[in-house]
Every structure is written in structure tokens, then in C-alpha cells.
Amino acid sequence: MSDLNAFRAEVREWMAGHLNGKFAELKYRGGSGEGDALPDLRKEWEQELARGRWTCPGWPAEHGGRGLSVAEQVVFQEEYSRAGGPGRMGHIGEGLMGPTLIAFGTEEQKKRFLPGILNGTEFWAQGYSEPSAGSDFGNIKTRARQDAETGDWLVSGQKVWTSLAHLSDWIFVVARCEEGSVGRNGLIFLLMPLDQPGVDIHPIKQIGGGSEFNSVFFDNARAKAEHVVGQPGDGWKIAMALLGFERGISTLGQQMGFQQELDLIVDIAKENGADRSPAVRHRLARAWVGLRAMRYLAMRVLSDEPAADTRREGLAYKFHWSNWHRDLGRLAMDVLGMDGNVISDDPRRERLQQMFLFARADTIYGGTNEIQLNIIAEQGLGMPREPRGKS
Amino acid sequence: MFNDKAVAIRASWTFMILEFTPDQQMIREEAERFLREKSSSEAIRRVVDARATHDAELWNSISRELGWCAMAVPEEFGGLGLGATEVAILMELAGARLACAPFWSTVCLAAPLIEAAGSDDAKTTYLGGIAAGEMAVTVAYADLSAADPAATVAVQATSTTDGYRLSGSVDQVIDLAVADIVIVPAKLDDGAVALFALPRNAGQKITPLNVMDATRPIASLELAKVEVSAACRIDQGGVTEGQFAEALRHANLGLAAEQIGAAQGAFGLTLDYISERVQFGRSIASFQAIKHRCAKLVVDIAEARSLVFGAAASMDQAEATASALEIAGARVLASDLQFLAAEEAIQLHGGVGFTWEYDPHLYFKRAQASAALLGSREAQMDNIAAALFSDGGRP
């Protein structure tokens, strides 16, 4: 524990020493709902992190990481958030693409792509969802056809809700490579540059006015033959493994952000007198209680060998935090009262207003509430599976 | 009692992996197996139908053979010296089976009070007796429904030549009719609060009450000028607020653990029933409306269990300030969860859910009775809010 405290102090000191000067402007920016804020400076910040060897600290040392333990990674995330570290432009490369390549990539793929992620010079987007493949992810329609001459793959179709595609360099795409295949079969996992003919990116304006999501259209866009991860047909397996790498470590950092939001609401309630209402006080107390429970649930989920009850209850984690956060958004606005309706550049109010709006997405992306409840019931409680229609 | 905790509330942010040790896992598995067999529905119903004070055979096994009462007693007094986590594990399982035994009163209500405020002699006698499984002990707090039940004292202790004369009455004392010893907080002539340990035949009047939740018996206590020897006084020079608070943290945590256990017991009944019940040609467990209600219960169970065992771990690491508030929060979650699980059990059992024959009503009555102990959810929320706003409770 004392080593952990020393590590905590090291991170805190580094953040204090580097998140200043031109980077001071980035504090608390670029979080969920405004992932497209200050992109150029945030990319520079990624390179600043890289110079301090704070990108990819959980990767094994042989691949350029620090090989940090789970506890150390959590501490890093917490202190990063506590210091107001901006939303990470490199998150998808560091948390999803890199670990997937380390596990399934060829030596050439690792050599080509890991350095750009580590150095904060190449940014990744995730090409999973499609207009008709949201909750029903197996219903992917984007096609990949192999060019007989070069062995390259030609991709056509549409991806949607693609975070930061307009600010990224590469995208990983799950596409259907076997004509007539359905569901989990016949999929391929491809790595594609975004800057090429046949890729068309359209930002989607969100509920809060920002645009961190995009529609990405592919029209015979090219993925090189050597940029298939795994074998053609392995797409589902790779895609699911990628989602498993996250493990929820970064959510501990997210909880630090939640605590800041809660503190902010408490401060504002004290200032504007909303704290005179016992009902408001109880709602804030309930939010605090929920956050403490959320934190302990995450600490359980991160166990290396979770017991059966922990595995079952771990399935509830996403539902719990997303609904908690969504409710906090409404509570924040209730505390602000009529002020909440007025757009201002008061950074505290702006943060809570954005949170109020964007938290509506929390219970939708990454598996909707309804899908989460199905997963808990079916995988956690062994209840009968939902019947499937004919596709 | 929660003022000046706002700093702790905001800054308490250490990290640990939260999991049971192999020893804790073993305690859990063995206790689960034992209770499934010994605290069956039939066993509970024997106690309830007879309006008995407890299941004597069960209590004998728990206290004398399995050593559950010794778990958290310090080794120097004959205990195993284990922590809040082990007690919470056992309380959760006891709650799941509605074990009819004076376990919570002895281990969570009385033992921590003796440990916090008792003299060395008292600890040797009573903690030793509890650890050995030789005595059931309860505490006659004046108002067990208050968040701070020690705030009022109902019994007056007047000095006599060789002891004290106790006068007063307490409306509701849990497990009083089965307890070998009742600890009575009483106000001395100088205003200090002392603790008196009374054996059953000390001259007090015990009147069992006809309670709705017959799995946890309650009796009233009347002390009409009861003369006791000086040796019956077990505190050392008066009990402080801090000592009561320390003892009550354990009582609350144990109760919260028992409540989340009872919630899971009720939920287990529900899952068993809906998996067998067929309507419209299919198991009703296959209806999404029912699946989602069950899944939401898992979410609430995950939340409450995490806070209960997280607070227990904090307590075992002596993070006292944060854990007091976390325990208050755990009580809120546990009370809400226990009631929800019980009402869902009735609803999802359909018609048989409100019969005497099926078990949901036992859990439903326990849920309401437990929620009323040691502070309503509103009182707990008031305390948490007072700390959150560091204003001592502004409205």
C-alpha cells in the first residue's frame, strides 16, 4: 500500500508539473460530450504524456509499456482525473487497439502500429456499430471483398457512432467477408487508413451541440492484405476479445470525475440555497452512497479470479454507473434551477449542463440498459434467452 | 455525530482489490451449507408457529459447535480475533435463511459495546462467555429505532450502599426473552451513563410482545427498583459518546449484512418459483418483463453488497471516519433492497405470494421490521447529507 502511495505521489507530481503552461487550457476539457474539444492541443498533450512514458502504462514492458499492475493503473487513472487531465484522444488506440494487436497481431502489425499509439502520433477510431447493427451487433452489413490481384480487401458500407473518426488516422472495421453469411460467422477484422479515396466522414451533431461521433461511409475503400487481424472469418472473435481488454480500469478514473461533478453540485447547492430542501439533500446523499458503492463494485470486478457472485454482480456494473450518472445529470439541473436553462461560459455550469445532456448517452452506448438487463438475466441468472426473429 | 467529516467524505480515495481471502471463502461456504440444512423453511416455521424465542438446536450449534460468536472477539478474551468482514459474511448468510437465533443481538449489538466500553473484568466474563458460546446477550437501548439509540436513556441508576437501584422501562428489546444477559444503559445520579449486565433472574420483568415478524422476537423490559450489586456494573467510569458510536457501527454493519442476505434469500425463492411456473405454454422466467425485474434486483444487490463489504473492509483497515458514513449508506441501500426483494417475491409468486403457506411473507415482515431498527432511511440520509454539506444538518 505504501508503494502505491509513493506511486500516487509520483503521478500527482508529474501531472502538476506538466498540465500547465499551454496545456493548462486543457484542464477538465474533452470529456464525454465534448470529445472533439481542442483536438490539436490534446494531440500535443498525448505526445507530452508519451515523453513522460504515461501513454499505455499498462502494456507489458516488451511492447513499450510500463507493465503496471492493475492497482497502479487505477491509481494513474484516478490521479489523472483528479488533476483535471483532459479526455484522452489516444484512448481507443491505447485501451482497445494496442492490446488487441499484442494478443492477436502479427509481428509486422505490432511493429507498424504500436509505436504510433505509444508516441501519441497515430490516433484510432472504432468501426463497429452500423445503422442496422446496434444492439444486434451480429447484423453487420458492411462488406469486404478480396481483390484477387493484390489480396487487399475492398470495403463498402456504413459505420456509425464512430467516435472521433474525423480526428483519427486509422480505423479498425468489422465487416462481412463471406457472401451470404449471417450473425457471428463470416466476419473479418480490418485495419484501414481513414485518409483515402472511398472513405467519407460525416460528423453527427449531438444533443449538447458537439460532434464527437461520425457516420463513416466506405465505397470500395482499401485495407491492405497484411492488415487483417487474425484470419478472415475470425472477426467476431477478435471484436469480442477487443471489448474484453478494457476490464474497467479506466472507469475508476471516470469515478473520480463523477466525484468532482458531485462536489460541484454540492457547492452550487450551498451557494444558491438549494441545500435548504431536505429532499434535495437526500438526493445528493443518495448519489454519494451510490458512488461509494460503485467504487467498491469496481474494486471487486478487478479481482483476478472473481468468485461466482462477483462475476454475476460485475455484469451489473455498466447498468449501475450509467444510470447513476444519468440521474446525477438531472439532479445537477434541479439544483441549478432556472440558471440551468441559461447557456453561459461559467465553466462549472457548462460542465454540469453538458453532463446533463450527454449522460443520456451513457445508458445507450456500450450496450443499452435493456441489453444490459438481458445479459444480467441470461448470463448472471441463467434465465431463458430472448427468442430471435428471422433475419 | 457526523460533523466535520466532509473532508473524509471527499478525500477518502484509496484503492484496493476487494475480494474474500481463501479463509473467508471457506467460512462462507461452510456456513452456507450448514444453514441451508439447519435453518430450513420447516425449521423457521416451527419457531414461528410456536411463537418460540429461537431455534435452540440451531443456536447451540452456531454458538457452541461452530464458534460463530467467537469470530470477532479478541484472542485475549478467548475469541478468534477476526474482523468485521467475517462477521458480515456470517450475518449475510444468517439473514438469507432468516436464522432464528440471537446471533445479531449477541455478536453485533452486545459484544461490540462490551468491547468498546467494558471494564477488563467485564470483557473477560462476557466476551469470554460469548466467545465460548455460553451466553446470548442483548442490549436494552431506550429507543432502538433511533439512528443514535444511545441518545436517550430510559433507566435511572441510583447508588445504594452496596450497589445500585435500577428503575425504568424499555418498550422493545430484541431477543430479550432468550438472552442470558441483558445489558442496560442507565443514567447515574451525576448524569453519566453506565452499563449494567443483568442475568435473567435479577428481578426485572420481561414481557414478550406479539410481533409481526416472528423470526426476531422482541420483549419489553421493566425495572421497578431492582437492586443490583456493584459487580453488575460493567463499564469503566461511564460510557462516552464515542464508545457508543463505535459499538453502533458494528451493530449497523451487521444489520445491513443481514438485510442484504435476507434480500438474496427472498430473491432465491422468487427465482426458484418463476423457473417452475408455466403460463401461456412457457416458463414465466422467459418473459422479458420478469427477466428485467430480476436483473434490476441483481443491480441493487451488486450495489448494496459492494458497499456492505467495502465498508467492512474499510473498517478492518481502521478507516473509521469514512466507514461510519459508508455504513449509514449501507443501511439505506440494504433497507431499500430488502424491501424490494421481498415485495417482488410476493408479486412474482402471484396468488400464492400472499398466502401463509409460501415463504415470501416471512421475508416481507422481516424487511419492514429490520428497516425500522437503528434509524430510518431518512435519518441515515440526514446524517450523510449533514456530512456532505458539513453543516450539521442545515434545514
- The CATH number of residue A293's host domain is 1.20.140.10
The answer to whether the Cβ–Cβ distance between A288 and B388 falls below 8 Å is yes
Residue with cell 502494456: A59
Residue of chain A minimizing CA distance to B395: A276
**DSSP letter (8 states) at residue B285:** G
Do A276 and B385 count as a contact with CB atoms less than 8 A apart?
Answer: no
Q: Are residues A282 and A375 in the same domain?
A: yes
The Cα B335–Cα B380 span in angstroms is 11
Do A278 and A216 share a structural domain?
no
Spatial distance between the Cα atoms of B394 and A94, rounded to a whole number of angstroms: 47
Kindly state whether residues A257 and A368 are assigned to the same domain: yes
CA A351/CA A348 separation, integer angstroms: 5
Say if B267 is an interface residue toward chain A (CB within 8 Å).
Answer: no
User: 427468442: which residue's cell?
Assistant: A387
Chain B contact for A389, CB < 8 A?
no
The answer to whether position A94 is within a domain reads no
Interchain CB contact of A290 with B (< 8 Å): yes
Half-sphere exposure of B357 (CA within 13 A, CB side): 3
Q: Are residues A260 and A230 in the same domain?
A: no
Amino acid B218: pLDDT: 98
Joined grid coordinates for residue B299: 443491480
In a domain, A105, yes or no: no
Inter-chain touch A299–B20, beta carbons under 8 Å: no
Using N-to-C axis directions, what is the helix angle for B320-349 and B360-371, rounded to 10°?
150
On chain A, the residues whose CB falls within 8 A of the CB of B14 are: 1
Domain final position from A211, A234, A257: A234
**Which of A246, A313, A350, A378 is an active site residue?**
A246
Please give the backbone phi and psi of residue B363, each rounded to the nearest 5 degrees, phi first: -75, -35
Per-residue cell: B336:
431499500
Q: State whether A295 and A375 are in the same domain.
A: yes
Residue B168, SS3 per DSSP:
strand
Q: Do A373 and B291 touch (CB under 8 A)?
A: yes
Contact check, Cβ <8 Å, A319/B299: yes
The pLDDT, as a whole number, for residue B319 is 62
CATH code of A19's domain: 1.10.540.10
CA atoms within 13 A on the CB side of A64: 21
Task: Classify B173 in phi/psi space as left (phi over 0), alpha (psi -120 to 50) or beta.
Answer: beta
- Evaluate whether residue A230 is within a structural domain: yes
Q: Exposed/middle/buried for A196, CB within 10 Å: 0-12, 13-18, 19+?
A: exposed
Reading the block at residue B330, the C-alpha cell is 449501507
What are the grid coordinates assigned to B38, written together? 439447519
Q: List CB contacts (< 8 A) between A311 and chain B.
A: none
C-alpha angle A32/A38/A39, rounded to 5°? Answer: 85
Q: Inter-chain contact A316–B298, Cβ cutoff 8 Å?
A: yes
| Segments of B294-348 assigned E as strands | none
Round to whole Å and give the CA distance between B242 and B91. Answer: 24
CA pseudo-torsion sign A63, A67, A70, A71: negative
- Which of B326, B391, B395 lies nearest to residue A292, judging by beta carbons? B326
Same domain, yes or no: A134 and A26: no
- Domain of A376, in residue numbers: 249-380
Q: How far is CA A233 from the centre of its chain?
A: 26
Task: Report the distance separating Cα A166 and Cα A215, nearest Å.
Answer: 9
Domains in chain B, CATH or no CATH each: 6-136 (1.10.540.10), 155-232 (2.40.110.10), 241-388 (1.20.140.10)
Whether A135 and A207 share a structural domain? yes
Question: A299 to chain B: which residues are within 8 Å by CB?
Answer: 15-18, 306, 310
Lookup result for grid cell 466535520: B4
Work out the number of other CB atoms within 10 angstroms of the CB of residue A275: 23
Q: Which three cell numbers stand for residue B383?
A: 446524517
**A246 labelled catalytic:** yes
Is A241 inside a domain boundary?
no
Residues A288 and A370 in one domain: yes
Interatomic CA distance for residues B275 and A244, integer angstroms: 31
Confirm whether A118 is domain-assigned: no
- Per-residue exposure over B178-206, b if at least 16 CB sit within 10 Å of its own CB, e if not: bbbbbbbbbbbeeeebbbbbbeeebebee
- The span from the CA of B236 to the CA of B239, in Å, is 7
- Please give the single-letter amino acid code of residue A2: S
3-state SS assignment for residue B225: strand
Give the 3-state secondary structure of residue B279: strand
pLDDT in tens, A288-319: 999 999 999 999 998 888 999 999 999 999 99
Nearest to B385 among A285, A295, A372 (CB): A285
- Of A234, A262, A291, the residue that ends a domain is A234
- Whether the full predicted model's pTM is greater than 0.90, yes or no, is yes
Strand partners, B282: B279
Statement to judge: residues A201 and A285 lie in one domain: no
Look up the CATH number of the domain holding residue A214. 2.40.110.10
Per-block mean pLDDT, blocks of 10 residues, chain B (395 long): 41 76 96 98 97 97 97 96 96 98 98 97 98 98 96 97 97 98 97 97 97 97 98 97 96 98 98 97 97 98 97 82 86 98 98 96 98 96 94 68
| A260 inside domain | yes
**Nearest one of A84, A89, A114 to A99, comparing CA atoms:** A114
Decide if A282 touches B, using CB distance below 8 A.
yes
Cell readout for B355 is 398466502
CB of B384 within 8 Å of a chain A CB? The answer is yes
Among A280, A289, A381, the residue to mutate for chain B (most B Cβ within 10 A): A289
Chain B positions in Cβ-Cβ contact with residue A278 (cut-off 8 Å):
382, 385, 395
ipTM exceeding the 0.90 mark: yes
Given this model, what pLDDT does residue A168 score?
97
Q: Is residue A261 part of a domain?
A: yes
- Clarify whether residues A153 and A48 are in a common domain: no
* Rg (alpha carbons) of chain B, rounded to whole number: 21
In this complex, do A292 and B288 lie within 8 Å of one another by their Cβ atoms?
Answer: no
The answer to whether residues A79 and A163 belong to one domain is: no
Beta strand A213-223 with A199-204 is antiparallel
Query: Is residue A335 assigned to a domain?
Result: yes
> How far is Cα B362 from Cα A163, in angstroms, rounded to an integer?
51
**Are A300 and B294 a contacting pair at CB < 8 A?**
no
Q: Which among A234, A264, A286 is the end of a domain?
A: A234
If one counts the domains in chain A, the total is 3
- CB contacts < 8 A, A to B, total 165
Please, what is the Cα angle at A132 between A127 and A138, to 5 degrees? Answer: 70
Q: Where are the alpha helices (DSSP H) in chain A?
A: 2-18, 39-51, 70-82, 91-92, 98-104, 107-119, 235-244, 249-272, 278-301, 308-314, 317-336, 347-362, 369-375
Cell of B123: 470483557
Nearest Cα to Cα of residue A384 among B277, B288, B281, B278: B288
**Alpha carbon A264 to its chain's center:** 24
Task: Name the strand (E) or helix (H) holding B205.
Answer: strand B205-208
- B224 close to A (CB below 8 A): no
Residue A362 in grid coordinates: 451513457
pLDDT at B5: 40
**Claim to verify: residue A273 and residue A208 sit in the same structural domain:** no
pLDDT-flagged residues of chain A (< 70): 1-2, 247, 390-391
Contacts of A308 in chain B (CB under 8 A): none
- For chain A, the distance separating the N- and C-terminal CA atoms, rounded to the nearest angstrom, is 54
